[in-house]
Chains A and B, each alone.
Chain A
């Protein structure tokens, strides 16, 4: 009886659940092929063919990797803290997937008389939500590293956590400049403003550079992959992991890359905005197809950023730990502060019609 008297908007619930399912599975699928892309890009940069055995052009390689990961023996070390050992990779994966909720993947589509926004939740604190999720991502690494009960894992986990915390600051400061320009914390609004005018990269080149570097550090990508520095720490925080738990950690890194690329595209490169085209006018002619093109545009931007991540990984060697900290605290944060002050001053000047 109580179940029947539930007062819930079922259609909205189903719509959102369907969106979440699509976005999550699409992210997983893209991440799968990002691992393939990484190996291909590495191969091209090192002048070798790369994976080309499984399927045409090696396209089935990710599936083969997945089967391998699943069928390996899953070992939980006897001295490990069992539940936390299992929780660690799960947390890392969850935190990286949670970001997708506030990213605007496209405009709106009309289905069955309902206008459906291709953004799971347009909350007015979207950017802060991303920050909260990013800061939670640290727990996956820390819990995994500690629960392994291994010195090297713990050291790597602590490195990863302190690196993430240090670069979060500069990331936040570079974001504040964007927020001052847009006057909104909602990612949907920020993208809409860029559709109407110039992309934010025009106003914030330095801010974007800082954000990009911090994103590299947050994703533990080279040159900031200190938590996985195998020559110093054997294998890093996932040393004791095997089978799909290890797969989750490696996979979470790729999903993090996709999500941070999506955030960068949304904040600085107009998100789903199709360049040189008036989207609103196109919508009157083409209807729902525009949304599809917009999603495609965003995906192209994301793929470009992912390629950039890989290009950097296979070009630049790793930093030493003190260099990493010096760069973060003594270069990135002051630069971000200067960027913030200059942007603030210019915004004020503009509000005053360019009079002092």
Chain B
């Protein structure tokens, strides 16, 4: 066992356990905190795959920004298991089926990937191999090969931001 394998198994167990805790926690605030642990574990996996930029952006955007907003909302609403209305059985069943379908298709992708490329078959990590995940290469790919989609998506984000501001302003003038 070398150090990448130890890290791989540690991070995998951490990710799975905390993902389970997200679902099992009674308190929504605890769920959010476990979800942050999941993001950390996944970032660790990205680093093992030598995708440093992805790892750190995952932390900044998801763990650092989006989860803070989640926490904001949950803390201010002060949710708890008692006040939360129970979903009916059919909803739960539909959710289970949809989640199960997603799980099956993900397993299928992973299984097929081993057949497609011998490189990744039976490997836990690609540390120090392949450098597409490093920031310089990623930037070159984004700004040379995929400039147009990149710029279009940035315009999309901008319009979403403007939209949010407009919606916020309207509500204020009514009150």
Q: Which chain A residues have a beta carbon within 8 Å of chain B's beta carbons?
A: 2, 5-8, 81, 84, 123-125, 128-129, 131-132, 135-136, 138-139, 142-143, 146, 154, 157-158, 161-162, 165, 185
Contacts and interface: CB of A to CB of B under 8 A. Distances in A.
The majority secondary structure among interface residues of chain B is helix
Interface stretch (B16-24, B64-72, B104-112): B64-72
B1 A185 contact: no
A16 to B, nearest CB: 12
A132 B2 contact: no
Given A139-B36, A154-B75, A165-B68, A125 B56 contact: yes
B56 A158 contact: no
Residue from the set B29, B52, B68 with the largest chain A CB neighbour count within 10 Å: B68
A132 B64 contact: yes
Contacts of A125: 52-53, 56, 135
Contact of B3 (A7, A135, A139, A162): A7
A146 B65 CA distance: 18
Interface of B: 1-3, 6, 27, 29-30, 33, 36, 52-53, 56-57, 59-60, 63-65, 68, 71-72, 75-76, 134-136
Contact of A161 (B57, B72, B134): B72
Contact of A84 (B29, B53, B72): B29
A154 B2 CA distance: 45
7 contacts: A6-B3, A8-B3, A81-B27, A84-B33, A124-B134, A125-B52, A139-B68
Contact of B2 (A7, A124, A129, A146): A7
A171 to B, nearest CB: 12
Nearest to B71: A142
Nearest to A172: B60
A161 B68 contact: yes
B53 A128 contact: yes
A8 B72 CA distance: 43
A2 B63 contact: no
Contacts of B136: 124
A146 to B, nearest CB: 5
Nearest to B136: A124
Contacts of B75: 142, 146, 154, 157-158
A158 B68 contact: no
A128 B27 CA distance: 32
